[in-house]
């Protein structure tokens, strides 16, 4: 697993390093520099996704469970799933009527389904074939024990809904079936990663199970077993909300932000991003720097962005100092750790929001919109 992660990260670091070298060389035209910036952005996004999968496997990602109608969820994301499958492959959805609700995290479930559909598509490879998603009640007695089965987890509830993603691909040999949930194990020469291991971790976190069955040459089927909600109402339709914040629309808000970050590189680039969004930025590296600010500085501050610094108690002490010196100002924590971990460590210490690292300019723009501004700068 460590070798696999190192391989993936080395590839991403290599892409970033080589793109930076090209941009610094002065030997490529401006439009090629913009292309390399896009390559760097894509590589950092992939690295962030890899970290997220590691956090899922470690069980450190908090999930928001709610009653979900699985049939409706899959119909809602059908265009997304269809787009991941070549047109030569038939894509079908079959769902029983009047299925009970399940208790699940919608975002994680969408990730799981997308992962299984992409795997099914890769199994069919360049041939024509069929991918089918079937949703039905699950009965333990329905298991087809004559077919080799691998299973992770045991549903905590007596009643479940089964979502099966099946394909007509090459299938998986029986002697390799029980290894497929291992990190970086693959039955193919390409596509190594954390896909099925993270799917298994997500299902375990749901109190459900993941079951795989296959016959070589006849395809494979992966079933998600999700406990039902015994007494739940259907989730209310989301009321139309505001569109996601646009980074450019959030600019020109004349805010004064206190940025507390101990890594000078992160502090500098975050300061520059905030300044491009129209904010004046005061910076501090630790609790002592914050305590050294004058009363006039604190009077002018509209909000604080504080590195949670989970490696020690510095983040908590700094938050306490900030609350003492400017009680009424909103304080937002940011960290490379998962939000659930941050909220656990900072339990009993109030703050006004969380921003996960790595973040984008648009993420900062969204955060700034949560801070009451004094004026709007002239355009």
Instruction: Concatenate the DSSP letters of all residues of 119-168 into one string.
Output: HHHHHHTTS-EEEEEEEEEE-GGG--TTS-EEEE---SSS-EEEEEEEE-
Cis, bond preceding 358 (omega within 30 deg of 0): yes
* β-sheet bridge partners, residue 211: 151, 223
Task: Give the model's pLDDT for residue 206.
Answer: 83
First-to-last CA distance in the chain? Answer: 52
Q: What DSSP line would sit under 222-259, residue for residue? A: EEEEEEBPSS-PPPPPPPP-PPPPPHHHHTTEE-EEEE
Q: In a 3-state reduction of DSSP, which class is residue 172? A: coil
Split at pLDDT 50, 70, 90, the class of 57 is: low
Task: Give the model's pLDDT for residue 246.
Answer: 46
* β-sheet bridge partners, residue 68: 102
Task: Give the model's pLDDT for residue 305.
Answer: 94
Burial tier of 23 (Cβ tally within 10 Å: 0-12, 13-18, 19+): middle
Q: Residues 243-264: what's their mean pLDDT? A: 67
Q: Are strands 66-68 and 353-356 parallel, antiparallel or unpaired?
A: unpaired
> Which of 38-42, 152-156, 206-210, 319-323 is predicted with the least confidence, judged by mean pLDDT?
152-156
On whether the CB atoms of residues 160 and 226 are closer than 8 A, the answer is yes
Q: Which residue has the tokens 């339990």?
A: 347
Residue 207: DSSP 8-state? T
Residue 295: DSSP 8-state? H
Task: Give the model's pLDDT for residue 264.
Answer: 86
Residue 282 to residue 302: CA distance in whole angstroms? 11
| pLDDT > 80? residue 352 | yes
Q: Residues 135-157: what's their mean pLDDT? A: 63
Count other C-beta atoms under 10 Å from residue 87's C-beta: 8
Split at pLDDT 50, 70, 90, the class of 63 is: low
Q: Residues 358-379: what's their mean pLDDT? A: 73
Task: Give the model's pLDDT for residue 130.
Answer: 94
Q: Residues 131-154: what's their mean pLDDT? A: 68
| pLDDT digit string, tens, across residues 309-346 | 755 557 888 888 888 888 788 999 998 777 767 877 78
Which of 57, 62, 46 lies closest to 1 in space, CA to CA? Answer: 57
Q: Residues 189-214: what's their mean pLDDT? A: 74
Sorted by sequence, the CB contacts under 8 Å of residue 201 that are 6+ apart come out as 56, 57, 59
Task: Give the model's pLDDT for residue 101.
Answer: 92
Rg over alpha carbons for the chain, rounded to the nearest Å, is 24
């Amino acid at each position: 697993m460590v070798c696999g992660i190192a391989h993936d990260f080395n590839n991403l670091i290599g892409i970033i390093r080589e793109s930076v070298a090209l941009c610094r060389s002065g030997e490529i035209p401006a439009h090629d520099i913009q292309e390399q910036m896009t390559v760097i952005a894509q590589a950092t996004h992939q690295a962030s996704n890899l970290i997220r999968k590691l956090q899922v496997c470690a069980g450190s990602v908090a999930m928001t469970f709610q009653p979900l109608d699985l049939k409706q969820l899959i119909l809602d994301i059908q265009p997304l799933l269809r787009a991941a499958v070549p047109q030569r492959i038939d894509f079908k959805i079959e769902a029983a009527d009047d299925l009970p609700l399940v208790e699940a995290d919608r975002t994680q479930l969408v990730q799981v389904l997308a992962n299984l559909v992409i795997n099914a598509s890769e199994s069919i490879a360049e041939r024509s074939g069929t991918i089918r998603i079937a949703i039905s009640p699950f009965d333990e007695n329905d298991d087809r024990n004559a077919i080799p089965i691998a299973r992770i987890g045991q549903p905590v509830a007596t009643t479940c809904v089964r979502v099966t993603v099946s394909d007509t691909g090459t299938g998986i040999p029986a002697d390799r079936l029980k290894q497929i949930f291992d990190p970086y194990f693959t039955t193919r020469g390409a596509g190594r990663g954390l896909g099925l291991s993270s799917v298994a971790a997500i299902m375990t976190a749901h109190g459900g199970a993941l079951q795989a069955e296959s016959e070589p040459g006849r395809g494979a089927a992966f079933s998600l077993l999700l406990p039902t909600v015994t007494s739940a109402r259907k989730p209310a339709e989301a009321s139309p909300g505001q569109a996601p914040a646009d980074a450019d629309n959030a600019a020109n808000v004349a805010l004064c932000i206190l940025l507390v970050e101990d890594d000078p590189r992160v502090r500098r680039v975050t300061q520059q991003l905030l300044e491009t969004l129209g904010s004046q930025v005061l910076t501090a590296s630790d609790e002592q720097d914050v305590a050294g600010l004058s009363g006039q500085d604190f009077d002018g501050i509209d909000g604080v962005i504080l590195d949670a610094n989970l490696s020690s108690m510095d983040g908590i002490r700094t938050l306490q100092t900030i609350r003492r010196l400017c009680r009424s100002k909103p304080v937002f924590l940011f960290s490379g750790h998962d939000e659930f971990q941050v909220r656990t460590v900072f339990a009993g210490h109030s703050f006004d929001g969380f921003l996960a690292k790595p973040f984008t300019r648009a993420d900062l723009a969204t955060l700034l919109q949560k801070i009451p501004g004094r004026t709007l700068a002239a355009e």
